Amino acid sequence: MSATRFTTDGAALSRDEIVQAAAGYASTGGLADLTIRQLATDLDVTPMALYRHIRDKDDILEAVADRLIGDLDLPSDDLPWPEYLAAMVRSLRGLLREHPAIIGLYTREPLTTPAARRRLAAARTALGRAGFDEAAATRAYATIHTFTIGFCALEAGRGLIDTTTPAPAEDPDDRALHEFVTDEQFEHGLEVIVAGIVTKGPRP
């Protein structure tokens, strides 16, 4: 019988090791399939061993999400703020479409990981350069951010992988309703929101 953590006093399990193993599911596109039991098997420990370092599955997903979000490049500081915000949420949408399991974290409670805080700070800085005070900058970022989360939740909930082409429908209203969740509609919504923020403008 080979030695395992079940049968030996090998190196102690660490939270970082757990997160690293869970991140492996993200790299293969299988984050939605992650379970505590399977992760414990992968790490050659009992499920209870994991709970010494984590609260629950969401705790692991948050840590993985923090790594993935932290890997997203922030836009260039040279961009005008409307383009800066648009670039931020396009990259976030790309991540959430690739890893829809993360969307549930946002819908259940605020994601307040270090990477999420850095993105908020970056948006505030970009808007601050344009004259927005912190409160107005936060509202502007929240508006465009939550629109993106909601749109991605619709995509994930409907199992839409390719939203470049709407599903065919003979009835005009059916076709119109299908087109509520397409790449074109996302860009239109993004354009409208940014235009609204531009119109409202920074507070004097």
- The pLDDT tens digits of the residues spanning 13-27 come to 899 999 999 988 887
Q: What does the alpha-carbon distance between residue 133 and residue 63 come to, in Å, rounded to a whole number?
A: 31
Residue 176 confidence (pLDDT) above 60: yes
What pLDDT does residue 36 have? 93
Look at the chain and count its residues: 204
Topology given in CATH for the domain delimited by 15-54? Arc Repressor Mutant, subunit A (1.10.10)
Q: Is the pTM of this model over 0.85?
A: no
Class of the 74-200 domain? mainly alpha
Residue linked to tokens 């912190």? 134
Model confidence band, residue 171 (pLDDT cutoffs 50, 70, 90) = confident
Q: How many CB atoms lie within 10 A of CB 50?
A: 23
Domain residue ranges in the chain? 15-54, 74-200
CB 155 within 8 A of CB 163: yes
Same CATH topology for 15-54 and 74-200?
Answer: no
Backbone phi, psi, residue 166, to 5° = -70, 155
CB 126 within 8 A of CB 85: yes
Helix (H, G, I), strand (E, B) or coil at 76: coil
Please enumerate in sequence order all residues whose Cβ is within 8 A of that of 22, keeping only pairs 6 or more positions apart, or say none.
31, 34, 39, 60, 61, 63, 64
What pLDDT does residue 26 have? 83
pLDDT digits (tens, 9 = 90+) for 115-137: 999 999 999 999 999 999 999 99
Q: What does the alpha-carbon distance between residue 90 and residue 78 come to, in Å, rounded to a whole number?
A: 17
Mean pLDDT of 183-197: 95
